[in-house]
Structure 1
Amino acid sequence: MSTILATPENLRRLKNVLMADFEMKSAHASEAIAALAGFRSHAAFRQSRSGSQHPAILDADFVHFEQKCFKLGYEADSSAYLRFSFNRIDWAHRLWCLIRKSDHAASDRWFYECQRRKIPFIVIKKARKHYSVSWDHISMESDYDNGIRNTYDNELHRIMFRTYQMICSGLEPKSFFDGTGLVGDVTGLSETSARQIADAFAKLLYPGNLRLEKSAA
């Protein structure tokens, strides 16, 4: 699974990649990005983002992207290259940060960025043999943090633990989940599982997340 935080800066950076690496026209790149985000057209994608206070986190739909590219006259296997390069894109706004466990300065820099952007502090830490994923709402505004604490903490904990089980069951025998919906960590992971968990938890914890907004309605 690959995700994208749909900020204007991230979408612009993705569009530049498509125009440079795929030699797409600007209008075609906009339509391809909309398809990647799961929408039928650029107009529909733009309408979905209008009036939203926070950018949503969207799953990358590579199948829909490939179908759209083929209709626009590009190679049918265009999604294969994008799948390969997607996680290497230097996003303007990241969902989480991957650092060495001993790099406290990098952890501090990421925390201050999260605090400035008013987003959850989600970090993947690389140790000698394993990876861990940590999350904390301490970087969020107090009103949002209190709202989550009073309303969704137990529900988030249940969903996050179940998500961890689905990703790691049978694959990560040394992993361990320790935390709540507000703060915690998962240890003993491979890099692949750590990335999947960080993406999945970000979708649950970020302001503007579609699932959380629906559950609050």
Structure 2
Amino acid sequence: MTIVILSEENHRQAKAALHAEMPHVRSSHLAEAMAAGFGRGSHAALLSFRRGYQDHRAPLARWDGAAFARRIASFGYADVPATAFGTALAAIRLPHTPYVKFRKGDRSANEDHYRTANRLGRPMMMITTARTYAQLEWDCITIDGREDHHVRGHEGDRLVRLMFEMFQARCRGAPGKPLFCGSAFTGTIKKLLPETAGQLAEDYFTLLTCHSPEQRSGLREARFRS
């Protein structure tokens, strides 16, 4: 996972998971290194960035494992890998995630995701898995109708073109001949490799969650550089 929803609960549980993975690291050092991983100069700066956001409006951050590892090393801890964050989070599930993954036909998981997304006013982003391929689905019916102008009309048309560009870039030469079908508001991509489905889910959640064209443009460039 490279995109993280910076809710207070996510931050707290991510730090606890990292501390369990690296119990020898002091809590204050871990907090500073996490801030670096989230693109901030200090723990205080990260808290200031988050201040004023409620969990349903928490900002998104792109995790930089190399920056985390460099900051940890500056405190004298050797051989901490850039993958430490991903390893720690593999053992838990953060309360707020860009997308959910479940087996095809699991209606209960689908309904649970709808209720959560609707309560938080976030787009639904779902990966359903089968034996070989995965299917990515998105639906913006759960976004507050007063805040969904970016997925409708002319703005929605521009946004879906960007989504299709991302699909082409991620899936060029992929097996299974993935098929993109839909609009910015709702859509499906079939026959994706599971890893590609996760990458596109983060791409699309970022685009559908950010409301200003400047935010979407900046995040788009960051994603294509990754």
Which segments of 5 or more consecutive residues in structure 1 lack a partner in the other structure? Answer: none
Greater mean alpha carbon deviation, residues 10-19 or residues 51-60: 51-60
Deviation (angstroms), 1:48: 2.1
Aligned residues: 215
Conservation of the 8 A alpha-carbon contact between 1:67 and 1:76: no
- Structure-1 residue corresponding to 2:47: 46
Deviation (angstroms), 1:207: 5.0
Change (3 A) 1:208 1:148: closer
- SS of equivalent residue, structure 2 residue 126: strand
Conservation of the 8 A alpha-carbon contact between 2:37 and 2:63: yes
Q: Which amino acid aligns with 1:133?
A: L
- Structure-2 residue corresponding to 1:30: 31
- Structure-1 residue corresponding to 2:215: 211
Separation (CA, whole Å) in 1 of partners of 2:120 and 2:92: 20
Deviation (angstroms), 1:208: 7.0
Separation (CA, whole Å) in 1 of partners of 2:72 and 2:182: 42
Q: Give a deviation string over 1:40-69, Cα, whole Å, max 9, x none.
A: 211222222233462122111011001001
Deviation (angstroms), 1:180: 1.1
- Structure-2 residue corresponding to 1:190: 193
- SS of equivalent residue, structure 1 residue 19: helix
Which segments of 5 or more consecutive residues in structure 2 lack a partner in the other structure? Answer: 220-226
Percent identity over paired residues: 27
Conservation of the 8 A alpha-carbon contact between 2:17 and 2:88: no
Change (3 A) 1:122 1:21: same
Separation (CA, whole Å) in 2 of partners of 1:208 and 1:84: 31
Q: After superposition, where does 1:120-131 map in structure 2 within 5 Å?
A: 120-131=123-134
Separation (CA, whole Å) in 1 of partners of 2:72 and 2:152: 43
Change (3 A) 1:90 1:211: same
Change (3 A) 1:87 1:58: farther
- Structure-2 residue corresponding to 1:6: 6
Conservation of the 8 A alpha-carbon contact between 2:149 and 2:156: no
1:97 aligns with 2:100: yes
Deviation (angstroms), 1:85: 3.7
TM-score by length of 2: 0.86
- SS of equivalent residue, structure 1 residue 187: strand
Conservation of the 8 A alpha-carbon contact between 2:101 and 2:127: yes
Conservation of the 8 A alpha-carbon contact between 1:5 and 1:55: yes
- Structure-2 residue corresponding to 1:177: 180
Q: Which amino acid aligns with 2:121?
A: K
Conservation of the 8 A alpha-carbon contact between 1:2 and 1:87: no
Separation (CA, whole Å) in 2 of partners of 1:114 and 1:180: 19
Deviation (angstroms), 1:28: 1.4
Separation (CA, whole Å) in 2 of partners of 1:204 and 1:87: 25
TM-score by length of 1: 0.89
- SS of equivalent residue, structure 1 residue 4: strand
Of residues 134, 139, 164, the one that matches 1:136 is 139
